[in-house]
Amino acid sequence: MGNLSWSLLSAHSMDIVPQQLPYREFYRILLSAVAPRPIAWVSTISADGRPNLAPFSFFNVVSAQPPLLGFSPALRRLEHGHVSKDTLRNIRETKEFAINIVTFAVAEAMNLTSGEYEPSVNEFELAKLTARPSQIVRPPQVAESPVSFECKLYQIMDFGTEAPSGSFVIGEIVAVHVSDHVLKEGRLDPGALDLVGRMSGAQYCRTTQRFELDRPKVAGKT
């Protein structure tokens, strides 16, 4: 089963054990089936003051109380080994970061910041984005993003030492910026957010087609 191919997968219904597949094939299954995924556009700053901006699609809410967000940066694969990405290194050094929400209007700029650039590259300048100062943390926010979360490091969980392993970074939200144009009667209007989700490969999706489902009412439950 170690040489299992996509042709065989598509021709039959199968139960798959992750350890029996090459990691790239199992990785494709994860990215194809667990989707769409929200995107954390993470801005950080190094210990010596260099800004960094990069997107991560292994991202979600971890807890509402305390207010926690989590994302997973994978290791960067180099010719002679693996190293932490600039984002993770900066967070380890400074214990702070900001997560900016990605909408369709900034999707191309987000994609431009996903390159494996040298630490000296300022992705804000590269993608022609506006760096808005945060209120509490040092890393700036993406002004073009309608919602930005300022986070203090809560915990880092490390997995493995070779790509595509990485870490799970949990941040505690200490402040939130919400732009006026997505507010309605003083509250964030979900319908005003033209959010982008990550699919597999180079595919993304927009959350413009939505439907509602009321939760079932169970007798004796409130």
Residue 81 has what pLDDT?
57
- Quick check: pTM over 0.95? no
Mean pLDDT, 10 residues at a time, the chain of 222 residues: 48 78 86 94 96 97 98 77 84 98 98 94 97 98 98 94 80 98 95 94 92 90 72
Contact criterion met (CB below 8 Å) for 118 and 85: no
Fold of 37-203: Pnp Oxidase; Chain A (2.30.110)
Residue 80 has what pLDDT?
63
Residue with tokens 């990485």: 166
Q: How far is CA 58 from CA 35, 73, 75, 110, 202, in A?
A: 10, 8, 13, 15, 15
According to DSSP, the β-strands at 141-142 and 131-132 are antiparallel
Residue 14 has what pLDDT?
76
Residue with tokens 């009667």: 185
Residue 1 has what pLDDT?
42
Beta carbons within 10 angstroms of residue 55's beta carbon = 23
Domain range annotation of the chain: 1-33, 37-203
| Identity of the amino acid at 176 | V
What whole-number distance in Å separates Cα of residue 34 and Cα of residue 16? 16
